[in-house]
Amino acid sequence: MALKDIIILPDTQLRLVSKPVETVTPEVRQLVDDMFQTMYDAPGIGLAAIQVAQPLRLITMDLAKRDENGDTNPQPRVFINPEIIAKSDELSVYEEGCLSIPEYYEEVERPAKVRVRFLDINGKVHEEEAEGLYATCIQHEIDHLNGVLFIDYLSKLKRDRVMKKFSKAAKRAAE
Ligand code: GNR
Ligand code: NI
Protein backbone atom coordinates (compact mmCIF):
# COMPACT_ATOMS: atom_id res chain seq x y z
CA MET A 1 0.00 0.00 0.00
CA ALA A 2 1.11 3.53 -0.61
CA LEU A 3 -0.12 6.98 0.27
CA LYS A 4 -0.61 9.12 -2.80
CA ASP A 5 -0.53 12.90 -3.08
CA ILE A 6 -3.95 14.48 -3.52
CA ILE A 7 -3.95 17.11 -6.25
CA ILE A 8 -5.56 20.43 -5.36
CA LEU A 9 -6.86 23.53 -7.10
CA PRO A 10 -5.80 25.06 -9.46
CA ASP A 11 -4.39 21.78 -10.87
CA THR A 12 -6.05 21.50 -14.30
CA GLN A 13 -6.05 17.68 -14.14
CA LEU A 14 -9.14 18.11 -11.95
CA ARG A 15 -10.96 19.20 -15.14
CA LEU A 16 -10.18 16.01 -17.09
CA VAL A 17 -12.96 13.61 -18.06
CA SER A 18 -11.82 10.24 -16.69
CA LYS A 19 -11.80 7.08 -18.84
CA PRO A 20 -13.76 3.90 -18.08
CA VAL A 21 -11.92 1.04 -16.39
CA GLU A 22 -11.80 -1.68 -19.08
CA THR A 23 -10.50 -4.52 -16.88
CA VAL A 24 -9.71 -4.83 -13.21
CA THR A 25 -6.00 -5.54 -13.54
CA PRO A 26 -3.61 -5.99 -10.59
CA GLU A 27 -2.61 -2.35 -11.22
CA VAL A 28 -6.23 -1.24 -10.76
CA ARG A 29 -6.47 -3.26 -7.51
CA GLN A 30 -3.26 -1.63 -6.30
CA LEU A 31 -4.65 1.81 -7.16
CA VAL A 32 -7.84 1.03 -5.20
CA ASP A 33 -5.75 0.00 -2.15
CA ASP A 34 -3.69 3.18 -2.43
CA MET A 35 -6.85 5.28 -2.78
CA PHE A 36 -8.31 3.78 0.42
CA GLN A 37 -5.11 4.45 2.33
CA THR A 38 -4.98 8.02 0.99
CA MET A 39 -8.69 8.63 1.71
CA TYR A 40 -8.50 7.31 5.31
CA ASP A 41 -5.30 9.24 5.96
CA ALA A 42 -6.69 12.57 4.69
CA PRO A 43 -9.30 11.87 6.16
CA GLY A 44 -12.16 11.93 3.68
CA ILE A 45 -15.38 10.02 3.07
CA GLY A 46 -14.85 9.62 -0.67
CA LEU A 47 -12.09 9.84 -3.26
CA ALA A 48 -12.12 9.83 -7.06
CA ALA A 49 -9.07 8.42 -8.87
CA ILE A 50 -8.40 11.75 -10.60
CA GLN A 51 -7.72 13.26 -7.18
CA VAL A 52 -4.58 11.11 -7.10
CA ALA A 53 -3.88 12.04 -10.74
CA GLN A 54 -5.27 8.83 -12.30
CA PRO A 55 -7.95 9.70 -14.89
CA LEU A 56 -10.00 6.52 -14.41
CA ARG A 57 -13.71 6.15 -13.60
CA LEU A 58 -13.01 4.74 -10.16
CA ILE A 59 -14.21 5.88 -6.72
CA THR A 60 -13.57 4.78 -3.14
CA MET A 61 -15.94 5.67 -0.31
CA ASP A 62 -16.50 4.99 3.37
CA LEU A 63 -19.41 6.72 5.10
CA ALA A 64 -18.96 4.91 8.45
CA LYS A 65 -19.48 7.12 11.49
CA ARG A 66 -17.51 6.95 14.71
CA ASP A 67 -19.43 5.35 17.57
CA GLU A 68 -19.65 6.67 21.16
CA ASN A 69 -16.20 5.16 21.89
CA GLY A 70 -14.69 6.93 18.90
CA ASP A 71 -14.26 3.63 17.07
CA THR A 72 -15.28 2.96 13.49
CA ASN A 73 -16.60 -0.07 11.71
CA PRO A 74 -14.99 0.46 8.32
CA GLN A 75 -17.40 0.19 5.39
CA PRO A 76 -15.11 0.47 2.38
CA ARG A 77 -16.92 0.70 -0.95
CA VAL A 78 -15.56 0.74 -4.48
CA PHE A 79 -17.45 2.07 -7.49
CA ILE A 80 -16.13 1.26 -10.95
CA ASN A 81 -17.61 3.06 -13.99
CA PRO A 82 -20.52 4.39 -11.89
CA GLU A 83 -23.53 5.96 -13.59
CA ILE A 84 -26.50 7.82 -12.20
CA ILE A 85 -29.51 6.25 -13.89
CA ALA A 86 -32.26 8.18 -12.07
CA LYS A 87 -32.53 11.31 -9.92
CA SER A 88 -35.34 12.47 -7.63
CA ASP A 89 -37.10 15.78 -8.31
CA GLU A 90 -36.79 16.40 -4.59
CA LEU A 91 -33.60 18.26 -3.74
CA SER A 92 -31.55 18.43 -0.57
CA VAL A 93 -28.85 20.78 0.67
CA TYR A 94 -25.62 19.60 2.21
CA GLU A 95 -22.51 21.49 3.27
CA GLU A 96 -19.83 20.01 1.02
CA GLY A 97 -16.09 19.99 1.17
CA CYS A 98 -13.46 18.50 -1.14
CA LEU A 99 -9.99 17.17 -0.46
CA SER A 100 -8.89 18.96 -3.65
CA ILE A 101 -10.20 22.30 -2.28
CA PRO A 102 -8.93 22.04 1.30
CA GLU A 103 -10.63 23.90 4.14
CA TYR A 104 -13.42 25.37 2.00
CA TYR A 105 -17.03 24.39 2.71
CA GLU A 106 -20.26 25.57 1.12
CA GLU A 107 -23.83 24.38 0.86
CA VAL A 108 -24.75 22.65 -2.39
CA GLU A 109 -28.23 21.62 -3.54
CA ARG A 110 -28.52 18.31 -5.38
CA PRO A 111 -31.16 15.64 -6.04
CA ALA A 112 -32.03 14.09 -2.65
CA LYS A 113 -32.09 10.52 -4.05
CA VAL A 114 -30.31 8.93 -6.98
CA ARG A 115 -30.18 5.45 -8.45
CA VAL A 116 -26.60 4.43 -9.22
CA ARG A 117 -25.28 1.57 -11.36
CA PHE A 118 -21.66 0.49 -10.99
CA LEU A 119 -19.26 -2.46 -11.07
CA ASP A 120 -17.60 -3.78 -7.94
CA ILE A 121 -13.94 -4.84 -7.74
CA ASN A 122 -14.90 -8.28 -9.16
CA GLY A 123 -16.66 -6.74 -12.15
CA LYS A 124 -20.14 -7.57 -10.87
CA VAL A 125 -22.90 -5.07 -11.74
CA HIS A 126 -24.81 -3.44 -8.88
CA GLU A 127 -27.71 -1.02 -8.76
CA GLU A 128 -28.46 0.89 -5.58
CA GLU A 129 -30.75 3.64 -4.35
CA ALA A 130 -28.75 6.35 -2.56
CA GLU A 131 -30.10 8.99 -0.21
CA GLY A 132 -28.78 11.28 2.49
CA LEU A 133 -25.00 11.59 2.71
CA TYR A 134 -24.58 8.63 0.33
CA ALA A 135 -26.54 10.47 -2.39
CA THR A 136 -24.54 13.66 -1.87
CA CYS A 137 -21.20 11.86 -1.85
CA ILE A 138 -21.78 9.66 -4.91
CA GLN A 139 -22.91 12.69 -6.93
CA HIS A 140 -19.87 14.69 -5.74
CA GLU A 141 -17.55 11.81 -6.73
CA ILE A 142 -19.17 11.10 -10.12
CA ASP A 143 -18.84 14.83 -10.84
CA HIS A 144 -15.06 14.45 -10.32
CA LEU A 145 -15.03 11.75 -13.04
CA ASN A 146 -16.52 14.35 -15.39
CA GLY A 147 -14.15 17.17 -14.37
CA VAL A 148 -16.83 18.89 -12.30
CA LEU A 149 -16.18 20.36 -8.82
CA PHE A 150 -18.72 21.39 -6.17
CA ILE A 151 -17.66 25.04 -6.53
CA ASP A 152 -19.18 24.89 -10.05
CA TYR A 153 -22.61 24.99 -8.38
CA LEU A 154 -21.83 28.21 -6.48
CA SER A 155 -22.20 31.79 -7.71
CA LYS A 156 -19.49 33.01 -10.07
CA LEU A 157 -18.44 35.46 -7.37
CA LYS A 158 -17.81 32.72 -4.81
CA ARG A 159 -16.15 30.42 -7.36
CA ASP A 160 -13.83 33.18 -8.62
CA ARG A 161 -12.91 34.03 -5.02
CA VAL A 162 -11.95 30.40 -4.28
CA MET A 163 -10.02 30.01 -7.55
CA LYS A 164 -8.09 33.21 -6.85
CA LYS A 165 -7.22 32.15 -3.31
CA PHE A 166 -5.84 28.78 -4.47
CA SER A 167 -4.00 30.28 -7.48
CA LYS A 168 -2.28 32.78 -5.19
CA ALA A 169 -1.34 30.03 -2.72
CA ALA A 170 0.15 27.95 -5.57
CA LYS A 171 2.19 30.94 -6.78
CA ARG A 172 3.51 31.62 -3.29
CA ALA A 173 4.45 27.95 -2.90
CA ALA A 174 6.35 28.03 -6.22
CA GLU A 175 8.53 31.00 -5.18
O1 GNR B 1 -14.37 14.01 2.54
C2 GNR B 1 -15.26 14.54 1.88
N3 GNR B 1 -16.37 15.00 2.51
C4 GNR B 1 -17.50 15.43 1.83
C5 GNR B 1 -18.45 16.14 2.55
C6 GNR B 1 -19.60 16.58 1.94
C7 GNR B 1 -19.81 16.31 0.61
C8 GNR B 1 -18.87 15.61 -0.12
C9 GNR B 1 -17.73 15.18 0.48
S10 GNR B 1 -16.55 14.29 -0.42
C11 GNR B 1 -15.09 14.74 0.43
C12 GNR B 1 -13.89 14.00 -0.14
C13 GNR B 1 -13.69 14.40 -1.58
O14 GNR B 1 -13.22 15.44 -1.93
N15 GNR B 1 -14.10 13.55 -2.48
O16 GNR B 1 -14.01 13.86 -3.79
NI1 NI C 1 -14.05 16.03 -3.90
Which H or E element spans position 105?
Answer: strand 101-111
Q: In angstroms, what is the C-alpha Rg of the chain?
A: 16
What is the Å distance from ligand 1's center to 39 Cα? Answer: 10
Identify the weakest region by mean pLDDT among 26-35, 38-47, 61-70, 95-104: 61-70
pLDDT, one tens digit per residue, over 74-95 is 999 999 999 999 999 999 999 9
What is the Å distance from ligand 1's center to 3 Cα? Answer: 18
pLDDT, one tens digit per residue, over 45-74 is 999 999 999 999 999 999 998 777 877 789
Does residue 43 have a cis peptide bond before it, meaning omega lies within 30 degrees of 0? yes
Distance from C-alpha of 149 to C-alpha of 140, rounded to nearest angstrom: 7
Ligand 1 binding residues, C-beta < 6 A? 44-48, 51, 94, 96-100, 136-137, 140-141, 144
- Is residue 24 pLDDT above 90, yes or no? yes
Q: What percent of the chain lies above the pLDDT cut of 90?
A: 93
Distance from C-alpha of 149 to C-alpha of 14, rounded to nearest angstrom: 8
pLDDT for res 80: 98
User: Would you place residue 173 in the very low, low, confident or very high pLDDT band (cuts 50, 70, 90)?
Assistant: very high
Q: Helices marked H in the chain — which ranges?
A: 26-41, 132-145, 156-174
